[in-house]
Copies of this chain bind each other. A is one copy, B any other.
């Protein structure tokens, strides 16, 4: 007989199969399980069809140790997960008076009117243990049958995630007792996957307890360094991953801008705050996105002074002090105007650095001489400035995202 998978996930909802909503549970659950050394073996997406769900639960219940089911616990007639699970496990549904009281209390707490249809949410498969939902009205439940732990949770992500973390992960951790994953993510930018491969491969020969997955993003590659399951003692592996990280860092230098899920703008913020320096931004094509990224970080008001989105020519003159002759001679999308924007915002705000972008995001507005995707971006500081020119490919959204990344990376390198 084939060994059971650790965990499988069943996502229920017509809206997922119709593309009305993008699922987030698979990513969330897969990630959380991995961190505790447990593998998600399969995931299944199925519509609001009682017979099919029941069949899937029966079938997968024999192939996996833990089955996490989500969606379809609401009060409407489409919500048939509790019936399907009971059918799949071959047990009846039973009304739980105590749970009905808890559900009514939840409604009262939120100031909502409880309706008769909500009574359905107080039915549970016989033998199930309810799981409290602190963020919504539908309780979840767990039940063990034929050596498979079946956990059923509501679909809304806020509710699912809270219940998964608080109740489901401890159950799973207790069941498997695995050592947690030894992992380090190195976030790089300014170097492509093809140039990373010849750096990584020889390292993997020496560090053969590890795998390195490279995940390319819009403007960088994340390197996921992970210990292979069961290859060594956790304390030893922790030390080894640090050595491996050190080697990668020595080779890649400032190309590694962060570890874990730390964002580039957070690293920039930390360095600015440490040095007591400040930044002000002058944007054109990026329309506020660069400022938005910098101020995504809590506490960014310590070092972000201002961001002027000078979309019109008049505002470039008025707010930033760009000279009319520069605009006329070179046009708004030019290195010269970009430099005057960066210098202008620095002068107006008294910031340590001025960062500017100008360009043509498209899809309209390009010419032969200045095509869609043409961008100038650059940095101004007390004794100098550095302006760069690039033609970025892709959609309007891509072009804007790429020039924002490039500008942030430029600022980051200056701060290194």
Contacts and interface: CB of A to CB of B under 8 A. Distances in A.
Interface of A: 15-24, 26-34, 39-47, 52, 112, 194, 213, 215, 224, 280-281, 283, 285-296, 298-301, 304-312, 314-315, 318-319, 348-350, 361-365, 396-397
Given A44-B44, A312-B349, 15 more contacts: A17-B26, A17-B39, A17-B41, A18-B40, A19-B28, A19-B32, A42-B46, A287-B291, A288-B289, A288-B292, A291-B291, A298-B362, A300-B311, A305-B314, A307-B307
A348 B42 CA distance: 58
Q: How many copies does the complex hold?
A: 2
Contacts of A16: 26-27, 30, 43
Contacts of A298: 361-365, 396
Contacts of A224: 20
A35 to B, nearest CB: 9
A93 to B, nearest CB: 25
A282 to B, nearest CB: 10
Given A291-B309, A306-B312, A312-B301, A34 B22 contact: no
B287 A296 contact: yes
Contacts of A315: 280, 305-306, 349
B34 A18 contact: yes
A210 B45 CA distance: 25
23 contacts: A17-B40, A17-B41, A18-B40, A19-B30, A20-B30, A20-B215, A22-B24, A23-B26, A43-B44, A44-B44, A285-B295, A287-B292, A287-B294, A288-B295, A296-B396, A298-B396, A301-B365, A304-B309, A305-B311, A306-B309, A307-B309, A312-B349, A319-B348
Nearest to A297: B396
